[in-house]
Amino acid sequence: MRALRLIWVGWIYQFKQLRRSSFDFFLAILWPIFFGTVAFFMFRSGGEPGALIYAGLGAAVMGIWTATSLAAGTALQRERWHGTLELLVAAPAHFALILLPVGLATSTIGIYCMAATLLWGRFAFGIDLPLDEPLMMALAVPATLLSIGALGFLIAVAFARYRHAWALGSMTEYPMWLICGFLVPIALLPDWVGPISWVLAPTWGMNAIRESSVGGTPLGDISMCFALGTAYVTLGVLLTDRVLRAARERASLSLS
């Protein structure tokens, strides 16, 4: 119960903090709109009627990853700058319980990105998205957010000892947009990319949202989101202990 409370309070606190940041909030909303606009022009030029719907949904979900990748990458660096990292690590609560809400808060910012991109597509490009399975959509969106948040948590832990973690987080942006099938069907990519995209929750989240919108069977994709999200959290918790131990041994928690 205390763990759940800590996650909830941390989530709200981190979310409020991110919402005050022009970089993590305002830019995170604008960024996918720029790329979505280019993609909308390209798909509109292609002339296939279904393509714009495909791009509209993809560009909307892209924003969730944008909001997560950079902010999660810099999560620990922010604490270093604020001078609170050592205090958080020394707190009796497991450090993973403090970091997990960061990942969840960053992906929650993605809701704003998603809404902004959908509205931009609707009003600037006349993209009218269908909603064949509203109930499934109500499940698919939170499942996608939670699983991407869990991936953000894993990234935050994995990049903990790098001073320039923001650059590594930012580096994951384009590759993830590409291999998770946001704007390009995975079938178009080389065969070896397929297995990589299968272990990435955004791939399944994107599928779930697409199938909920245009019709299909999103339940399997939603289940995969939850399964992968659980795997990321488990891996992240195990990694947290190793990373913290290494940082303590080298006395490099605040210096790395």
**Binding to another protein by residue 17, rule CB under 8 A?**
no
Identify whether the C-beta of residue 33 lies closer than 8 Å to the C-beta of residue 117.
yes
Q: Which is nearer to another protein, 15 or 162 (CB)?
A: 162
- 33-72 footprint of another protein as x/- string (CB under 8 A): xxx-xxx-xxx-xxxx--x---------------------
Helix (H) or strand (E) holding 88: helix 85-90
**Binding to another protein by residue 171, rule CB under 8 A?**
yes
* C-alpha span between 36 and 183 (Å, rounded): 9
Phi-psi region of 123 (alpha: psi -120 to 50; beta: other; left: phi over 0): alpha
- Closest distance of CB 62 from another protein, Å: 10
The total of other beta-carbon atoms located within 10 Å of residue 68's CB is 35
* C-alpha span between 28 and 229 (Å, rounded): 22
The count of residues interacting with another protein (CB under 8 A) is 37
- Closest distance of CB 7 from another protein, Å: 30
Determine which residue in the list 6, 178, 219, 246 makes contact with another protein, applying CB under 8 A: 178
- Closest distance of CB 118 from another protein, Å: 18
Q: Which stretch binds another protein (CB under 8 A): 74-82, 91-99, 159-167, 217-225?
A: 159-167
- 88-107 footprint of another protein as x/- string (CB under 8 A): --------------------
